[in-house]
């Protein structure tokens, strides 16, 4: 995963080169208007099943699954690690 994705990670936190990683973002399922703290914003919607290790989803976004919804605010991004854990972090200023 390229170091340019997020500046908040420490050196050595990236997986080894042998790990299977996807780059970029998953396909957008839909786009809709969503209310955030500052009002409505056009928001990409993703199917959680389409998110793979290493994918980065820039907010504003919504990840949808059958049993849950994960909103990613406009000032944040989320990425999925090799253990299936989402990491939510601030976007670089």
Element (H, E) at 30: strand 30-36
The pTM (predicted TM-score) of the whole model is 0.75
CB-side neighbour CA atoms (13 Å) of 20: 3
- Tens digit of each residue's pLDDT, the chain (93 residues): 333 444 444 444 545 444 567 888 999 999 999 999 999 999 999 999 999 999 999 999 999 999 999 999 999 999 999 899 999 999 985
Q: Hey, what are 73's tokens?
A: 């605010």
């Amino acid at each position: 995963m390229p170091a340019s994705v997020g500046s908040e990670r420490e050196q050595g936190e990236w997986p080894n080169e042998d790990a299977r990683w996807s780059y970029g973002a998953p396909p957008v399922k839909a786009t809709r208007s969503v209310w955030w703290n500052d009002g409505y914003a056009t928001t990409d919607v993703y199917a959680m099943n389409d998110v793979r290790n290493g994918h980065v989803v820039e907010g504003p976004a919504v990840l949808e699954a059958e049993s849950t919804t994960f909103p990613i605010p406009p000032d944040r991004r989320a990425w999925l690690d090799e253990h299936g854990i989402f990491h939510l972090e601030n976007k670089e200023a």
